[in-house]
Amino acid sequence: MSALTVLAAELGGERVGVRCVGGRIEAIGPEVGAAPGDETLDAAGAHLVPPLINGHTHAAMTLFRGSGGDLPLMPWLEERIWPVEAKLTGEDVYWGTRLACAEMIRTGTTRFWDMYWHPEATARAVADAGIRATIGAPLFDVGRSAEEMRSSALASLELLGEAGPLVSPALAPHSIYMVSENSLRWIGELSAERQVPIQIHLSETQKEVEDCIAAHGVRPAFYLDRLGVLNERAVLAHGVWLDPEELALIAERGATVVTNPVANMKLAVGGVFSHPAARAAGVQVGLGTDGAGSNDSLNLLADLKTFALIQKHAAADPTAIEAAEAWAVATGARAPLLGAGAPLSVGAPADFLLLTADAPELGVGDLTADLVYAASGAVVDTTVVAGRTLMRGGELPGLGETVARTAERARGLGL
């Protein structure tokens, strides 16, 4: 079995070795060295840290990067996004996702949660790039039949279940306004039967909340709960307008909220998901970028600063969130469902980063505070996933081709 041993990495003030066998960490500590035949990597004092988890994105939307036109949400969707999405092919999605994976590997994300068209093409891109993803086909039955939606859901679970060890399937109902009550209930039952997670956009805009109350008499989280969709398998993207009763219910049901502060600010949704209120209620929280169409970056390490700052700003309180807590959210430590496990420990998947030892942003002061407030993804030197070195010395093999092929696909779509 192939083994990778990283030598002389900086961890908590000491130099450690990490030996990875069969995609897992077999040993980690000051005494750990390489065995004969191991591939070795001299970290030369680079900081060893767990990788980041992007809890909500639409990876292939890198195709739409830079063409948002600074429009409001609905004209942006109706004029720029939906007409082009109707023409997308699997090949477009493959290259858009490869570009997204390249950006994530370069900026320290090794696992992402995705909802997009042609999920089989996303899965192929993820496997080829070597990172991890939980993928769901966008499900909706507004504008098409519930039957069509159900067969698409079942087919996608089958395809994604066979996509290899780096990919796991999910059900991805788009939102409570794009999926009917009966279909949401059906998705909840299917999720329980197959034990697969659900990703859904929830409480992104005030209008969504008002419409939900008008149509169903309750706020969005209570509506989902009534339909059997709010449970420990659910990942709720955004949650900007959740009120205290909804946060208490989400905590009780064990669901996860993924906040996407940069996309929310770019689309000017007008509110801020309150991390202090969610934490106090006991809600599990992750961080996401949302798609490159509405961010436009997938650099989660940069968004981490925005996340921390907007929490402080909205609360008018600089102690509203501390650097260590923000870092825990970005690395998935506050939301077990997102898949971080116990990183950098014996038996854990061999997924980690080495950060440039002499990066000016990391040279002085507390490393975690520097990562949150000073660094961006540019400090990532090496990215390892499942014991495979995907990037070393900031060099990602094949990047030039990925950028060129994706740009060509985007031009072909008229973007």
Enumerate binding residues for Zn ion (CB under 5 A): 290
Nearer to Zn ion, 290 or 381 (CB): 290
What is the distance, to the nearest Å, from the Cα of residue 84 to the centroid of all Cα atoms in its chain?
A: 24
The minimum distance between CB 287 and Zn ion, in angstroms, equals 13
Residue 74 CB-density burial (10 A; 0-12 exposed, 13-18 middle, 19+ buried): exposed
Q: Give whichever of 82 and 164 is closer to Zn ion, judged by the CB atom.
A: 82
Q: How far is the CB of 40 from Zn ion (least distance, A)?
A: 41
CB of 201 to Zn ion, least distance (A): 5
- Using the minimum distance from each CB to Zn ion, give the nearer residue, 103 or 290: 290
- Please, what is the minimum distance in Å from the beta carbon of residue 58 to Zn ion? 6
The token pair at 238 is 């955004």
The residue among 263 and 375 lying less far from Zn ion, judged by its C-beta, is 263
Q: What CA dihedral angle connects 41, 42, 46 and 51, to 10 degrees?
A: 10
CA distance 260 to 262: 6
CB of 115 to Zn ion, least distance (A): 7
Shortest distance in whole angstroms from residue 258 CB to Zn ion: 9
Q: Which is nearer to Zn ion, 34 or 178 (CB)?
A: 178
CA–CA separation, 261 and 47 (whole Å)? 27
Please report, as a single letter, which amino acid is at residue 224: L
List C-alpha distances in Å: 99 to 84, 220, 388. Answer: 18, 34, 19
**Which CB sits closer to Zn ion, 10 or 114?**
114
CB of 382 to Zn ion, least distance (A): 30
Which of 152, 216, 139 minimizes the C-alpha distance to 183? 139
- Shortest reach from residue 124's CB to Zn ion, in Å: 21
Q: CA-based diameter of the chain, in Å?
A: 68
Amino acid at 316: A
Of 237 and 326, the one with the shorter C-beta distance to Zn ion is: 237
**Do the Cβ atoms of 177 and 210 come closer than 8 Å?**
no
CA angle 98, 99, 103 (to 5 degrees): 115
- Residue identified by tokens 């929830």 is 202
Q: How near is the Cβ of 215 to Zn ion at its closest, in Å? A: 22
Secondary structure E strands in 346-396? 352-355, 380-385, 388-391
**126/367 with CB nearer Zn ion:** 126
Closest to Zn ion by CB, 199 vs 382, is 199
Residue 368 identity = T
Distance CA 373, CA 264 (A): 20
The continuous run of DSSP H or E covering 199 comes out as: strand 198-202
The closest residue (CB) to Zn ion is 290
Residue 225 or residue 290: which is nearer to Zn ion going by CB? 290
Bridge partners (DSSP) of residue 14 are 11
* β-strand partners of 196: none
Residue 141 C-beta: closest distance to Zn ion, Å: 18
- Report the alpha-carbon distance of residue 231 to residue 82 in Å, rounded: 31
Quick check: bond before 296 cis, omega within 30? yes
- In one-letter notation, the amino acid at residue 60 is A
